Structures are given as structure tokens and as C-alpha cells.
Amino acid sequence: MGERPSWDEYFMQIALDVATRSTCLRRQVGAVIVRDRRILTTGYNGAPMGLPHCLTAGCHLVNGHCIRCLHAEQNAIIQAAYFGVRTEGAILYCTHQPCNMCAKMIVNAGITKVYIGGEYPDEFALEVLSTAGVPLVLVSLPSGNQEPSNTMPADTVSAVENPLDKA
């Protein structure tokens, strides 16, 4: 039996496992919301309940971003609201740094700290979290795991035409 993982490594490994449920063709992201070392909810990036996923319908790209999917952090926060689970004072573990929209949701959900396994190029998200006093901590991933880029090759992503582009 190997060395026992720290709590941060343990929850980050769970976030990595949750990411494997993602239906996004571009990046697989997982999130876990924890309070008092107990998992409250999990989330991964994918389409809203009952709607077609990128796996079956292709990505709906607008300005280089897929708008079909909810982000992992959003899904974890929504799951908490859906099931009546309080997130105030909780900690979020996510395989990637949150974007600015997720950062704002994290602040409003009362989450007090965010651990990430990899960075994401969104400076405003960093500003939102910093201004709100929510620390962002980069966690070394458990041995055997690499940085969670999980980006699929471009030729596997099929874009859906945006009708607004023709207007």
C-alpha cells in the first residue's frame, strides 16, 4: 500500500475522476464542492439535462467557445441548489482554473476557497476571486496524473453553425 494522499490530493483525484463523465469534445473538467471534508456535490462540463451533448450534436462554437455546455463549477453549484445543499463556507476543487462567470458564481455561492489542478487563461476570473477574498490554490496532482489539459485534437470537434453569424 502506497502513501496515503493528503485531503487536497484526495479531493483533486475525485475531481479528475468526475471529469471523465464530461461530454465536451474540447476539454474535460471536473469539480467537487466540499465542506468539513465531506463531498457536497460534483459537476462536470456538459449540456443541460435533457438537451443534446457535444458528443452527439457537436460543439456549438461562438467566438471560439462552445456555448452548448455548462461548466463543471456551474453544474456543481446548480446541483447543490437543485438538491437544497448549502454551499456557504465550502471549498471547491476543480481540475482547471474557473472562468470569470464561474468565479462570480463561486463568490455568490459563498464558497471560500478554490483548489485547482491546472490554470486557464482568464485574468479577470483571478481578479474576481482575489477581490472577493477567495484564495485560489494550485494543487500538485497525484502521482501518475499529468496537468489536466484533456483537450481533444481539433479534427475531432465538429462545430455547429451559429445562425446569429449570418445576421
| Neighbour-count burial of 76, counting CB atoms closer than 10 A to its CB (0-12 exposed, 13-18 middle, 19+ buried) | buried
Residue 111 pLDDT > 90, yes or no? yes
- What angle do the packed helices 123-131 and 100-108 form, to 10 degrees? 20
| Residue 88 a catalytic site member | no
Interval 106-111 mean pLDDT: 98
**Is residue 121's pLDDT more than 90?**
no
54-80: pLDDT as tens digits = 999 999 999 988 899 999 999 999 999
Q: What is the pLDDT of residue 140?
A: 77
DSSP letters of 22-62? ---SS---EEEEEETTEEEEEEE-BPPTTSPPHHHH-B-EE
Do residues 108 and 138 make contact, with C-beta atoms less than 8 angstroms apart? no
- On the question of pLDDT at 129 being above 60, the answer is yes
More confident residue, 76 or 121: 76
Mean pLDDT for the chain overall: 87
Mean pLDDT of 40-46: 97
2 or 76: which carries more pLDDT confidence? 76
Indicate the pLDDT class of residue 145, thresholds 50, 70 and 90: low
116 phi, psi to nearest 5 deg: -125, 150
- What is the distance between the alpha carbons of residues 128 and 134, in angstroms, rounded to a whole number? 9
Pick the catalytic residue from 73, 88, 119, 147: 73
* Range with lowest mean pLDDT among 27-41, 48-62, 83-97, 131-145: 131-145
Residues 9-20: what's their mean pLDDT?
96
